[in-house]
């Protein structure tokens, strides 16, 4: 019994973390929406991790759709909340701590100290489509210089927001909603184009996505980072070959190659023939 509980300790802890956030925000902000919101997300994230531990290989894609469609269709299109980076800038500018501001704090600023770039692997509504493309295992080496592009996109998004905030403030809610729709169309188009150009489903994450500017610093110190048990490892390099983000899982150092790119997909853990990765 204890062995089974220990095996699934990570998803249990993950659910408890999300539930703590859900209850805290509900009580502090007096809005029961946050209780249901973070309980829903926490449940499916934890379920996905548990299913992956149980060797269900497609569990992560399944969970991505449950969370991604909820975030994009319900919160974004139906509730008219811009959950993109411009939405975060907007709530920060008007000093309102809710919606996109809370989402970014939990998923993309503070949260990665605990679960790294788990957002990218389990909840991103852009990559839930990109991960269906045929290049789950990258067929080309990363182009390091192109990684600067995401900082350019980040600067562009900030500049775009500042322009509409100071020049079109009276109509900003409609502009933000239109920006959500148009922005997602652009992201999907660029993501699919990059996937085919670079033979890599995650090329969008590596070169274009501005959210990584928030995610990478905290991910460096993530508590849930994968570690290799050297005494079990047979140096077959299978974990490195199948990693969609090119992370060197055989190096336990914080400074390991592409360490902050890990999306917690657990492919390395599932495929390791000696269960050397924890």
Task: Dump pLDDT digits (tens) for 39-96.
Answer: 999 999 899 888 888 878 788 888 999 999 999 999 999 999 888 999 999 988 988 8
For residue 203, give both structure tokens.
Answer: 């090329």
Count of Cβ atoms closer than 10 Å to residue 184 Cβ: 17
For residue 102, give both structure tokens.
Answer: 């809370």
- By the 10 Å C-beta count (0-12 exposed, 13-18 middle, 19+ buried), 104 is classed as buried
Q: In whole angstroms, what is the distance from residue 124 CA to residue 117 CA?
A: 10
The pLDDT-based confidence of 103 (bands split at 50, 70, 90) is confident
Q: In whole angstroms, what is the distance from residue 124 CA to residue 264 CA?
A: 13
For residue 5, give both structure tokens.
Answer: 């509980």
**Long-range contact set of residues 78-85: C-beta below 8 Å, sequence gap at least 24:** 80/173, 80/177, 82/176, 82/177, 82/179, 82/180, 83/180, 84/157, 84/179, 84/180, 84/183, 84/184, 85/154, 85/157, 85/210, 85/211
Phi-psi region of 237 (alpha: psi -120 to 50; beta: other; left: phi over 0): left
- By the 10 Å C-beta count (0-12 exposed, 13-18 middle, 19+ buried), 130 is classed as buried
Q: In whole angstroms, what is the distance from residue 96 CA to residue 210 CA?
A: 22
Cα 27 to Cα 30, 236, 272, distances in angstroms = 5, 50, 43
- The answer to whether 262 touches 116, Cβ cutoff 8 Å, is yes
pLDDT reported for residue 54: 83
Q: Which of the residue ranges 5-9, 213-217, 243-247 would you say has the lowest mean pLDDT?
A: 5-9
Phi-psi region of 116 (alpha: psi -120 to 50; beta: other; left: phi over 0): left
For the entire predicted model, the pTM comes to 0.88
Position 3 pLDDT exceeds 70: no
């Amino acid at each position: 019994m204890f062995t089974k509980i220990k095996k699934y300790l990570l998803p249990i802890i993950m659910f408890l973390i999300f539930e703590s956030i859900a209850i805290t925000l509900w009580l502090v902000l007096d809005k029961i929406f946050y209780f249901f919101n973070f309980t829903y997300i926490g449940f499916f994230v934890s379920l996905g991790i548990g299913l992956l531990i149980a060797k269900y290989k497609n569990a992560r894609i399944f969970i991505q759709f449950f969370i991604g469609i909820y975030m994009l269709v319900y919160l974004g299109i139906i509730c008219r909340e811009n959950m993109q980076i411009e939405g975060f800038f907007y709530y920060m500018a008007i000093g309102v701590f809710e919606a996109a501001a809370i989402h970014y704090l939990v998923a993309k600023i503070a949260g990665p100290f605990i679960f790294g770039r788990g957002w990218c692997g389990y909840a991103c509504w852009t990559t839930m489509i990109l991960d269906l493309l045929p290049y789950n295992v990258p067929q080309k080496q990363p182009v390091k210089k192109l990684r600067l592009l995401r900082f350019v996109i980040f600067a562009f998004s900030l500049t775009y927001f500042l322009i509409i905030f100071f020049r079109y403030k009276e109509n900003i809610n409609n502009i933000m909603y239109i920006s959500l729709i148009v922005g997602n169309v652009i992201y999907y188009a660029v993501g699919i184009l990059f996937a085919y150009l670079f033979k890599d489903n995650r090329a969008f994450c590596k070169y274009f996505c501005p959210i990584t500017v928030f995610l990478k610093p905290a991910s460096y110190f993530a508590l849930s980072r994968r570690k290799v048990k050297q005494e079990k490892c047979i140096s077959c390099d299978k974990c490195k070959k199948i990693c969609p983000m090119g992370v060197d899982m055989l190096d336990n150092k914080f400074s390991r190659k592409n360490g902050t790119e890990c999306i917690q997909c657990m492919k390395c853990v599932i495929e390791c023939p000696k269960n050397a990765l924890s």
